[in-house]
Structure 1
Amino acid sequence: MENKFRLKKKEDFNFIYRYGKSTANHQFVVYYKHNSNHHFRLGISVSKKIGNAVVRNRMRRVIKEIVRHHTDKIAPNYDFIIIVRKPAVHMDYHQMEKSILHVLRKASILKKK
């Protein structure tokens, strides 16, 4: 995923947590806030409760790949953070993809068809 699509700074994360909205399903939580950029930015948060570093990094890589494949479906002008919950660890790629798209649709971040 390109650099321009990433949220990196702690201040950005805190701003979205404080002033953004959230929605969730059993596997993921999404905090989101409208921004003034011409593209979306993604941040991923995986707690140490999820597993060791190998597990956490795998979750980050898979989520980034899912978002990369669906970049054209995601509405511009949004900053959002995906937080991984424990049940997501036991999902395969396709289940995770379906769950992420579901929570993004719930948050109205996906473009209308």
Structure 2
Amino acid sequence: MPYAYRKSERIRSNNEFVSVMRGKRLSVDGLSLFYTRNDKAHFRVGIAVSKKLVNAVGRNRLKRQIRACIMQGLRETASGYDLVFVVRRELLHADHARVLTAVEKLLHRAPLRRSGSEGTAT
């Protein structure tokens, strides 16, 4: 599975999701990004798709698409952040290119980029 995260790179519990969602938020094209700093040497990612939007097959398809796009976009992202991506209705029937564009826009707009030194955000 090329886009699998290690257990330590995933946000899994409801409390962790709620904690990150109290942080800062950006929204673009049917996708929202919530992010906060963490005290770890790596980033952690969570993806949320409401059961009200689509069935399990559709939710998992969207999560796979977003996971693939995140892995492409996180190369330039600083470590030490918790990220939660929340899918909105507008992104339900989007193709991969549109999902990739939305993820790239969010990661570019968020102050998560690495500066000259490893692991620090600008």
Normalization by structure 1: what TM-score?
0.88
Amino acid at match of 2:9: F
1:110, distance to aligned residue in structure 2 (A): 3.7
User: In structure 2, do the counterparts of structure 1 residues 107 and 61 end up closer, same or farther at CA, with 3 Å as the change threshold?
Assistant: same
The DSSP-based 3-state class of the residue aligned with 1:65 is helix
> 1:70/1:26 Cα in 2 relative to 1: closer, same or farther (>3 Å)?
closer
In structure 1, what is the equivalent of residue 47 of structure 2?
Answer: 44
Query: Which one scores higher on RCO, CA 8 angstroms, separation ≥ 6?
Result: 1
Gap regions ≥5 residues in structure 2: 117-122
Aligned to 1:32: 35
Cα distance, 1:106 vs structure 2: 1.7
- The residue that corresponds to 1:11 in the other structure is 15
Distance 2:46 2:9 in 1: 9
Query: Which digits, 9 at most, give the CA deviation of each residue in 1:37-56, with x for residues without a partner?
Result: 11110000001232111111
Alignment of 1:9-88 (within 5 A): 9-18=13-22, 20-88=23-91
SS class of match (1:22)? strand
Q: What's the C-alpha RMSD, in Å, of the aligned pairs?
A: 1.7
Counterpart CA distance in 2 for 1:94 and 1:5 is: 25
**TM-score (norm. length: structure 2):** 0.82
Q: How many residues align?
A: 112
Structure with max Cα Rg: 2
